[in-house]
Amino acid sequence: MKFRIVLPVLASIACLAGCSGNGGGTVDTAGKPGAFHVRGDQVEACECDSVCPCIFEKDVTYNQCQGWLAFAIREGSYEGTDLTGVTFAIALLKTEKNLGKSLGKWEGKAWISDAASDAQRKGVTEVIRQSLGGAFARLEFADGKVTVTGSGDRWELAVGGVGEAKVAGIKGADGRVLAVHNSPSPIIMPVYNCALAESNTFTDGGVTWDFKGRNGGYGGFEFRSK
């Protein structure tokens, strides 16, 4: 199943890249129309040189910032439907020179795991629409095999037949991964673990890239309905 929708710009983008993931358990959403609360792991890899200037609301390294955003829901629900274990990925296909200033103008494509049930697919679509949709003028949806795996300072994402990325954390002088906390940009994870992409490929719809050696990042995310 594949379909195309145009997502409206949201009035608020405060949780565009995930609210803080340090809270307690997820909220019970049963019997609450449109309600969701999910948290999990996020991995990204993009066209920019590392560390990505978008973290500090600066212009991208090159003409735009194509790349991957991938999410693995570790716990949470939509209208009472359990979304635990569902994965999804978004390819940023067209942006402008400054991501923050061009919010609402991006174009992309999202893949929801083909292992998800119809109810889970509906829930994840709504999570994307409310939590991430404000960035996009156009976002196409499709089903596919989506995997997000990793631990420690090494993470991977893959969308079957389309592309993949592997990122490794950048170590500081003390041996710990360099991390940016509380970025000024609303599109960045609350704790952004800086990484380099050992691979980052994409081929779909006439768009192809290979951004090996460019920026990567990973961390926790938390999305909830307003």
Nearest of 199, 208, 95 to residue 162 by alpha carbon? 208
pLDDT at 11: 28
Task: Give me the count of residues in the chain.
Answer: 226
Cα Rg for the chain, rounded, in angstroms? 16
Residue where the block lists tokens 């439907």: 81
Burial class (CB in 10 A: 0-12, 13-18, 19+), 42: buried
Taking a C-beta distance cutoff of 8 angstroms, is the pair 212, 3 a contact?
no
CA angle 55, 58, 59 (to 5 degrees): 120
DSSP 206: T
pLDDT at 9: 33
Residue where the block lists tokens 């990204």: 44
Band the pLDDT of 8: cuts 50, 70, 90: very low
pLDDT, tens only, 85-131: 999 999 999 999 999 999 999 999 999 999 999 999 999 999 999 99
Taking a C-beta distance cutoff of 8 angstroms, is the pair 131, 15 a contact?
yes
- H or E element, residue 175: none
How far apart, in whole angstroms, are the C-alpha atoms of residue 66 and residue 220? 21
Across the range 72-79, mean pLDDT stands at: 98
Q: How many helices (H) and strands (E) does the chain have?
A: 1, 14
pLDDT at 77: 97
Taking a C-beta distance cutoff of 8 angstroms, is the pair 205, 2 a contact?
no
Taking a C-beta distance cutoff of 8 angstroms, is the pair 218, 195 a contact?
yes
Task: Report the 3 state secondary structure along 148-161.
Answer: EEEECCEEEEEECC
pLDDT, tens only, 12-70: 333 454 544 445 676 788 778 899 999 999 999 999 999 999 999 999 999 999 999 99
Nearest of 226, 225, 32, 1 to residue 113 by alpha carbon? 1
pLDDT at 186: 83
Half-sphere exposure (CA, 13 Å, Cβ side) for 90? Answer: 22
pLDDT, tens only, 190-226: 999 999 999 999 999 999 999 999 999 999 999 999 8
